[in-house]
Structure 1
Amino acid sequence: MSLEPQGAVSVLRVGNDRIDAAIAIQFKDRFRDITADVAGPVVLDLGRVTFLDSSGLGAVVAARKLLGPDRALELAALSPAVEKVMQLTRMNTVFPIHDTVADALTAHGVAPAA
């Protein structure tokens, strides 16, 4: 994972193609460590993630809780498979979901980096 500050928003890019039982705990720990010192909403760029199982979904939900009630976790660039998981579990009603990271930034009034 890598964190890129974009104005008042932080973009957290996931480098793995899977978030599953094998890496769910590492995902949560890394998320906590990397977002501990940033303020404002976090956009989780899932553009590289092609597989998300129930453990991975639990890790994403746990990440949202780690930010606390005053900071939003938004999702961007979902693959069709990940989008299907979000719809089947109705997590698409819990998380703001954007087609692209640029769309998420625009929603916050931040011009995407060129």
Structure 2
Amino acid sequence: MDVDASRHGAVTVVRPRGARLDALAALGFKDRMQPVIEEAGARVVLDLSEVTFLDSSGLGAVVAAQRFLRAGQVLELAALTPAVARVFRLTRMDTVFAIHPGVDDALRVVL
């Protein structure tokens, strides 16, 4: 799975290109996230607005991306679709990640 990344000051917004973050896409997602996070600023916002399906492998890939963070970096999520938000709620991962309604909302937050 390819990702697009854009820099907004200290915030790097990453958008996966694909509707499914599942077992087939998870490895590619992790491989692409590592160099993006290495080059990112203090905050990395994962824009999940185009992801309509996320399974346990996809969830694991998001958690794995969090492990790539350097000291002082944080991974936040934005624009979860209803099905993806449900997975985060059911697994209680919504308590682990800061989740914003949209990317613009995430960009307005000052840490």
**TM-score (normalised: structure 2):** 0.93
Post-superposition, which runs of at least 4 consecutive aligned residues in structure 1 deviate over 6 A? none
**Residues of 2 paired with 1:17 and 1:52: CA distance?**
9
Bigger mean CA deviation after superposition, 32-41 or 14-23: 32-41
**Paired residues, what number?**
109
CA offsets, 1:29-59, max 9 Å, x none?
A: 1000222222211000000000000000000
- Name structure 2 gaps, 5 residues minimum: none
Structure-1-length-normalised TM-score: 0.91
Q: Which runs of 5 or more structure 1 residues have no equivalent in the other structure?
A: 110-114
Aligned positions of 1:1-114 closer than 5 A: 1-108=3-110
> Does the CA contact (< 8 Å) of 2:11 and 2:40 recur in 1?
no
Identity of aligned residues (%): 52
Output the CA distance in 2 between the equivalents of 1:34 and 1:96: 19
Q: Tell me, yes or no, if the aligned pair for 1:9 and 1:108 is still in contact at 8 Å.
A: no
Partner amino acid for 2:32? R
Matched letter for residue 13 of structure 1: R
